[in-house]
Structure 1
């Protein structure tokens, strides 16, 4: 199965990248088997799967050919804008046909469960499937502690509003941090304070002080592929944060929304190091499949379940989507699609790093060493006017995200940077975009 999945993923990526363009003939089954070092039947199975998904078609006694794009397909529309601002997955790799198949299968399998109100925690079968799925990320839990959510943001809102057993009130957030959540906390009047996080990490002494004296209900953190910094906490930092949570009775809300998008196989989340059930672990499935799915999962400590239920009340995440996701994960489609996305993003990050090395010889911007995920911050000279820079780049049809929006309104110690996202930037655009950014930064910093 692993060999078959690897071959299928490789063929799909080659087609996506244009190595096998529309109408192009694929290698013969025998030739592909020799190339991949596998049996003819394994290649035949992979080709058959691609044909079933309408990616390729066969001509008897001729071979297999790549299907041409439809006239209204996204890939046929020339994209002049270089989009370094969007965090949405690339629409060209959305698994439409796979998920359509899973929806149909879900209706057949769960038809007697999909059209009721359902359990407030979510579809039981999916929650049991997620037990082993989460264990792959070193998150060990039981199905009774998993709650399906309508996106991870729903869980974040509920957790901010509800009381916690420690009786504390304030939410501690990283600065910079997730902009939409920051705006929510400010708009709702929820007590919130910030702690500086840089690409080098976090000051653990300062974090301990805030845990001890700050009346912190929970600390919201993105331990892996932070938005907007793109970096991850070291093993030592994750262990230390887990220990401080237990020592000072402060909860950790660990938003691991990009857990599936990197190549760090040995990364254990904070949840794995905490032995006192002080970590709420959040995972999103929208970033790996498509945003419209709006499904996430929260792993809650047992002592929070009753209060969380009181604030959530009912199941509001689509049962049909949950059932389809269960089928998608169980039959291996999720794992195969994940590998394809990881490969795509890794290649784009590599292209970005190569472009920075090529055009930033003078050190006009500071760029951390990031090899996976989707974000890379470009730290700017203090003399650069962010508003003017973003306008100049927009005039050159380059969309970027300014660092201003990633801070609380009253937080003063701010770095000046651009958050660069590669999720929507096409490989052939990355070099051009990086070159233009460095040109404009040089111009603004004179």
Structure 2
């Protein structure tokens, strides 16, 4: 066995024996070289090997630390089958790793944390996000990025502020993100609608609406749509970017779940934008935990001044920004993303297996979604949707009615349940799907 492999094996043995604890700092490279009687380059190779295995992580100007063990299931099961919640699974929250990053953030950024800071966000985090976003073909400069207290803060600002095209209306898909729709209604902001189904959006109608002259911006989720769960293909993304440039309409691309998609050939609309008409929004709440409340907005130069003038709310807490910066830099974010991607992908596969077994008569029409959090179960129009939801709740099966994902005055609503797999226990998915089918059949014959 080579010397660097012996060093790596020794460190892993000490971790297994409890001599090295999660979060504990390892000896410096120089100290380890003296201990193991080898060169500094040999120790660096051993540490690099351990980093590849996600056994340790590094923090610039600080050193190397042990990674926390995989989280064990610690959340009590209340007996329900939860297909409604959109929050990440409590059992895969990276509590321990992020706690280490918070501690290191205090040490690394101790002086910056006691100032008001840049209203655009922590400079170090914005620089880190430049590289992070590049993995999704979002190539930007740090000055284009604004860090906000969650994506909702950014959406509220983008909805209310004026645009260079001088137009008043916001175009939204139907169905769409329910909290944004409720905000538009509460603020009385002018909104127009375009239907989107699990399989398509009408690009000819979209062009007509863009051409009409009233649309200042178009809010869309190109990947892992909420509630549909589906994503646009390359054709739709290119067309939207082209139409935005042609008719001077800005696209608000909410890529809140882009990290849970296939890493190959899954680019956002922003990647096809050549005219500076796409605003790219990214959330970290669904990936790590909702309480983090950090979002990132990539702004075209033409919107920077207006956005910062209207964005009067406080930005994300500096300590959270600093911790996220470290979390991404040391590879923990990528490690956690890959972990939950695998878990959620397996749950969706189990969901499709359950449908194949129990939905043999084709009573439910199901979107062909293979990654992300959501899919939809469409049902016959004769079924009372709210009654099905209530009966399922009494049986301990929680689902979300599709009614909430439309503007109140939109009449052409589809009848569906939004199904989320983030908190659905894999061993109970078959039971939950069977219960849904039983209640839908009961609704047809009621």
TM-score (norm: length of structure 1): 0.85
With 100-109 and 257-266 compared, the bigger mean Cα shift is at: 257-266
* Secondary structure of 1:173 counterpart: strand
Partner residue of 1:226? 225
CA distance in 2, matches of 1:47, 1:99: 14
Partner residue of 1:132? 131
Partner residue of 1:63? none
Find out whether 1:84 has 2:83 as its counterpart. Answer: yes
Listed as ranges, the gaps of 5+ residues in structure 2 are 1-7, 13-45, 58-64
CA contact (8 A) 1:118 1:315 kept: no
CA distance in 2, matches of 1:44, 1:142: 28
Aligned length: 395
Distance 1:45 1:144, change over 3 A: closer
Deviation at 1:139, TM superposition (A): 0.5
Query: For residues 39-188 of structure 1, what are the structure 2 equivalents within 5 Å?
Result: 55=69, 73-74=74-75, 77-188=76-187
Distance 1:87 1:430, change over 3 A: same
CA distance in 1, matches of 2:166, 2:144: 22
Deviation at 1:200, TM superposition (A): 1.0
Partner residue of 1:327? 326
Deviation at 1:432, TM superposition (A): 0.4
* Secondary structure of 1:198 counterpart: coil
CA distance in 1, matches of 2:202, 2:55: 54
Deviation at 1:316, TM superposition (A): 2.1
Partner residue of 1:370? 369
Query: For residues 134-283 of structure 1, what are the structure 2 equivalents within 5 Å?
Result: 134-283=133-282
* Secondary structure of 2:147 counterpart: strand
CA contact (8 A) 1:263 1:342 kept: no
CA contact (8 A) 1:122 1:315 kept: no
* Secondary structure of 2:137 counterpart: coil
Listed as ranges, the gaps of 5+ residues in structure 1 are 9-38, 57-66
Distance 1:314 1:422, change over 3 A: closer
Distance 1:371 1:245, change over 3 A: same
* Secondary structure of 2:258 counterpart: coil
Deviation at 1:313, TM superposition (A): 4.1
Partner residue of 2:307? 308
Superposition misfits of 4+ residues, deviation over 3 angstroms: 41-56
* Secondary structure of 2:265 counterpart: coil
Across the aligned residues of Structure 1 and Structure 2, the Cα RMSD in angstroms comes to 2.2
* Secondary structure of 2:196 counterpart: strand
* Secondary structure of 2:375 counterpart: strand
Distance 1:68 1:134, change over 3 A: closer
